[in-house]
């Protein structure tokens, strides 16, 4: 059984390097895990749903976490308007018990001008690094094998 992955500073540094693969030139300056000082900023889901945190996010990879900053899920958004809170609400409508397990969320900022395909590759790269507990699939990443979901997620 694979141990759960915690979103630590070292893991965030690794994610930043992976996201830089998809970000052209000057976009690299705005790409990466949102940090609180040097650690990944992991905020209560209620702050995102209430609009006090990341209410402007249209493009990015989000990581709902549970206790101990364990990555429960990896997803992405790329929409014309604010998207993160709406996407989390969609998840909670689809599977209501996620609301109890997904207590916090981290964000990997991506430039709004990235293509849908690039955003999906970023989601796939982040997912392979974080090996989330609840995903049942992740987008393909060129040159990488298909990701295999954890037994409890299948």
Report in angstroms the alpha-carbon separations of 9 from 44, 101, 125.
18, 22, 17
Of 15, 10, 13, residue with least CA distance to 127: 15
Question: Hey, how many other C-beta atoms are within 10 angstroms of the C-beta on 43?
Answer: 17
**pLDDT of 97-117, one tens digit each?**
999 999 999 999 999 989 999
Summarised one tens digit per residue, pLDDT across range 5-60 is 999 999 999 999 999 888 876 666 678 999 988 899 999 999 999 999 999 999 99
- How many whole angstroms separate alpha carbon 65 and alpha carbon 56? 20
The mean per-residue pLDDT over the stretch 71-82 comes to 96
């Amino acid at each position: 059984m694979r141990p759960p992955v915690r979103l630590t500073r070292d893991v965030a540094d690794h994610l930043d390097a992976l996201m830089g693969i998809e970000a052209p030139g000057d976009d690299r300056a705005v790409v990466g895990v949102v940090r609180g000082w040097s650690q990944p900023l992991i905020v209560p889901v209620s702050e995102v749903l209430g609009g006090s945190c990341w209410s402007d996010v249209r493009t990015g990879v989000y990581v709902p976490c549970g206790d101990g900053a364990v990555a429960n899920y990896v997803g992405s958004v790329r929409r014309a308007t604010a998207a993160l809170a709406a996407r989390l609400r969609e998840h909670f409508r689809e599977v209501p018990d996620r609301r109890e397990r997904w207590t916090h969320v981290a964000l990997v900022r991506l430039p709004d001008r990235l293509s849908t395909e690039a955003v999906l590759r970023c989601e796939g790269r982040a997912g392979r690094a974080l090996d989330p507990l609840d995903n049942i699939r992740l987008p393909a990443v060129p040159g990488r094998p298909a990701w295999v979901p954890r037994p409890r997620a299948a």
